[in-house]
Chains A and B, each alone.
Chain A
């Protein structure tokens, strides 16, 4: 025991991995030479290798207490977990600003949100900070340089004193008895389950949620899907974001459990997190998202249409449908504690709108759209008509390519930090050794294959596909083509040529009890529809199920809001056929008739004219079926 301690004293400064076995476990032999305790390799300890990552700031003297000098310098400064998060948030915001987001994001919005968050979650700016939560001034201000740097961070001037005042009391205690092997002062309390559950402390995922809220606040044209994609491609720091912490903030021990990231959170989970944050923050009404805002479906749909190589003409129909669904109103999209306290999923909603529009225009029932494509092919002499079959072939090829590329990128993605990471001191040398081994193997194969590991960094882009004539494009652009093939002139108004609109049962079921019926219904849905869902869910990186739910929600807005909910039928599989003739204004005639014993089928005939006028007919055909009634209200 004594010997080991002596050895440690001697070898403390020497953190180089052993040349032979890469272990960092040095002992001193009787002759005073260094040897590796793991492979007994004796080295000539004459070369001083200066490695800044191992002994940061060793040239600075920042101790006033007793104890060995080397130990103190290795620990760096005392800091809090939330300081770490603050730093990471700052880096993320800076990265986004570099990518072209308005500079207001950082100082005006995110900083305020962060301050509000700290206050509401009881971590700072409060009279009664969380009990076990010690906030510490960077103590021992012998290093004025770093202190200046700290106070210069995004939470500036005003909060400095608050943090200080709330925590001066804890200063003495924590500096006398710092928790063992932790760089931050409060990692342990941060990690207790109690804390995490009750006080909504910060997590890495929450940084993204907070950024997302900030982006919505400044109405930046960056949906959650875009944000996550930027994160995934490494344009916004997230994985190993702690690497960017300054040297003074050393990550040790439990800190890694908080800052280490091994997965990019899903769209759904970040949205949930943001939703929860919204409740914690209790924000005032957000700035309105009007038709001119890029997050509004009117403009967002234009972007998606371009991305998917759909004709521009379709945008008109999307807008019409949006009107009909009542989604053009800005109140539907603006978060407001009084009217809408749900964070809308702008991307998913817009995608759902496009899917519904395509169903209305093309049919998307595995039959109509192909018939139309056949007809269009015959009629088309000039080559100006949009042909769905051609589009499908183009898109399918591009989709498969993109999916493969994505999978290759996933396989090549490197997650490990360049910094040495270990959760406890006695594991440290094991971790360093493993890292060294992995690096060596990697270098060997990089040399062999003459290709570096990891994903090739490409410039950030809002688009996944590229259409046009230039090199590397996924195919020719179809944006200029017209929809004349599927539209006919009726009473002087252009309407889709086919008159049926099908949709699954629109009744709402208990949100808590059954989340999604997509998996159950998927085999019965038309393949083209399922493919469309998959296309969009790939584009937005969401689950097809959640997009399906959103499509139903839009359809409910278009048709369903006028039908009373059928509470008894939540579990039965229902297929509704709605006949639609769309004009500027909806005038719907709905026929609901259960056709088979097992599957009540609803047929809705919708005739729309310019004038609001409604007529509903419900005709139950079998006596045994529960009768469905369709009520009509016109907008």
Chain B
């Protein structure tokens, strides 16, 4: 009897306690210190669990189970029963439940055969406004979804709205600021897309019309943001491409080159091979001198020795007059060939043959080759020159067999295995 009274009282006390909480989000700071009663991740049974909490807990378990087994209809059915959790007054963790409902709902909508865009819109709108913590994130996700369904204009409106969103201290939060940057970036990307559209539809026909000015307008909007954002360390590949393309179009080559160089050479950025690729492609497009191209590719070679541009790199080196470059080319190609993707590539082997042929014009070519092969001689024969390789190569690419066979003796003079074993007689 007493026990139950205590329990009853305890519950009242708790509820009263909750009462003092203001759900007003600006007072979150003070809420942190209050004891937690429920956790979003908490799905175990507590001895004092109320029937309401039991219902929502079991409901969540069922939803989880249904999701795991891809029973979307069942998940949707249970999901209809779950939102009551949002009204839970006995928890100060309502933000977590909002997130839970948001993520579960969108997941089910993604998978359910009958879901419509209206459903998405309504869920996103509701969730967006039921807690400021996730506002920006949901905006971003919402616009992605609209993009996927081809509603570019809508998506852009979403992002623009999110961009101008402010909420007191919360918008000053580091995490929120990062999301704001993302939102700005994507908004600019959409500006770029619209710019592209206009470019293809109007510019060709009527270069000096209003639509041109309109187009320039989009360029300005996009470039203001992009310029700012691309200074932040990160991987911005699609953004940088679009920015460079626009700059290129308006013939601001210097800025474009600057942006690309910064992207490739700034040490605060994470190492990104694409940065060097873009720079190389840009330089190549604008017919930069070979030395500059080689310089860019040299860094790329360090980052990704198997990159497809290495073939171009080696040819550039080969064309160069300097002796050292030929040796460098040999090294580049040898390193390439160690990768499975190049192993039976005819061009790579041909290139190797060309390099060797050029080297052979020099006196000490044997030293150079054996020097480069010294570290490889243990495993190269097994990797390239076995009778098995011979058989497969001759089946798939007879030309390759010829090239490889001609190189066998040069690269591995003391070869014990026989690349041409089956074809000895031929």
A residues neighboring B (CB under 8 Å): 20-23, 38-39, 191, 193, 196-197, 203, 205, 239, 257, 262-264, 269, 272-273, 275-276, 407-408, 410-416, 423-424, 426-427, 430-431, 433-435, 437-442, 444-449, 451-454
Contacts and interface: CB of A to CB of B under 8 A. Distances in A.
B94 A263 contact: no
B83 A262 contact: no
Nearest to B63: A411
23 contacts: A20-B129, A21-B128, A22-B129, A257-B15, A262-B52, A273-B4, A411-B81, A413-B51, A414-B84, A415-B55, A424-B19, A426-B22, A431-B89, A434-B94, A437-B86, A437-B127, A441-B127, A442-B80, A445-B108, A448-B108, A448-B119, A449-B76, A453-B81
Given A22-B129, A444-B119, A448-B109, A272 B4 contact: yes
A197 B87 contact: no
Contacts of A415: 51-52, 55, 84
A439 B80 CA distance: 9
Given A196-B9, A433-B130, A434-B130, A445 B80 contact: yes
A408 B62 contact: yes
Nearest to A268: B4
A448 B112 contact: yes
Nearest to A409: B55
Contacts of B18: 423
Given A408-B62, A410-B54, A441-B101, A20 B81 contact: no
B53 interface: yes
Given A257-B16, A272-B1, A444-B122, A410 B129 contact: no
Given A263-B52, A448-B115, A276 B94 contact: no
Contact of A22 (B16, B109, B119, B130): B130
A433 B87 CA distance: 9
Contacts of A276: 1
Contacts of A441: 79, 83, 86, 101, 105, 123, 126-127
Contacts of A445: 76-77, 79-80, 83, 105, 108
B378 interface: no
Contacts of B4: 269, 272-273
Contacts of B62: 408, 411
B78 A263 contact: no
Given A269-B4, A411-B58, A439-B83, 20 more contacts: A20-B125, A21-B128, A21-B129, A38-B129, A196-B9, A197-B9, A263-B51, A264-B51, A273-B4, A410-B58, A412-B81, A416-B84, A437-B86, A437-B127, A444-B122, A445-B108, A447-B119, A448-B80, A448-B114, A449-B79
5 closest cross-chain pairs (CB), A and B: A21-B129, A263-B51, A449-B76, A445-B80, A438-B83
B51 A39 contact: no
B5 interface: yes
B362 interface: no
Contacts of A430: 23-24
B12 interface: yes
B368 to A, nearest CB: 71
B86 A438 contact: yes
B55 A413 contact: yes
B209 interface: no
Interface string B34-57: 000000000000000111111100
B5 A197 contact: yes
B73 interface: yes
A423 B127 CA distance: 24
B41 to A, nearest CB: 18
Contacts of B130: 21-22, 433-434, 437
A20 B87 CA distance: 19
Interface residues of B, number: 56
Contacts of A438: 83-87
Contacts of A272: 1, 4
Contacts of B52: 262-263, 415
B259 interface: no
Contacts of A410: 54-55, 58
Nearest to B105: A441
Interface of B: 1, 4-5, 8-9, 12-13, 15-16, 18-19, 22-24, 49-55, 58-59, 61-62, 73, 76-81, 83-87, 89-90, 94, 101, 105, 108-109, 112, 114-115, 119, 122-123, 125-130
A262 to B, nearest CB: 4
Where chain A touches its partner, the secondary structure class is helix
A193 B5 CA distance: 9
Nearest to B79: A445
Nearest to A455: B81
A440 B59 contact: no
B89 A412 contact: no
A427 B22 contact: yes
A404 B425 CA distance: 77
A257 B22 CA distance: 17
A453 B16 CA distance: 30
B210 to A, nearest CB: 32
A431 B87 contact: yes
Nearest to A20: B129
Contact of B87 (A191, A408, A416, A448): A416
B89 A423 contact: yes
Nearest to A197: B5
Given A264-B51, A423-B19, A193 B80 contact: no
Nearest to A413: B55
Contacts of B129: 20-23, 38-39, 433, 437
A447 B130 CA distance: 21
A451 B115 CA distance: 14
B143 to A, nearest CB: 17
A434 B87 contact: yes
Nearest to A19: B125
Contacts of B22: 426-427
A22 B89 CA distance: 17
B170 to A, nearest CB: 13
B231 to A, nearest CB: 31
Contacts of A38: 129
Contact of A449 (B23, B24, B77, B122): B77
Counting chain A CB atoms within 10 Å of each CB, the highest count among B5, B87, B105 belongs to B87
A196 B12 CA distance: 11
A449 B73 contact: yes
B122 A448 contact: no
A454 B51 contact: no
A318 B289 CA distance: 106
A165 to B, nearest CB: 32
A415 B13 CA distance: 21
B81 A414 contact: yes
A262 B50 contact: yes
Contacts of B114: 448
Contacts of B59: 411-412
A285 to B, nearest CB: 23
A487 B213 CA distance: 103
Contact of A203 (B8, B16, B83): B8
A262 B86 contact: no
A453 B80 contact: yes
A396 B76 CA distance: 30
A39 B119 CA distance: 21
A396 B12 CA distance: 41
A447 B62 CA distance: 19
A435 B112 contact: no
Contacts of A449: 73, 76-77, 79-80
Contacts of A444: 105, 119, 122-123
B38 to A, nearest CB: 12
A451 B108 CA distance: 15
Contacts of B89: 423, 431
Contacts of B83: 437-439, 441-442, 445
A407 B65 CA distance: 14
Nearest to A275: B1
B84 A196 contact: no
A239 B52 CA distance: 10
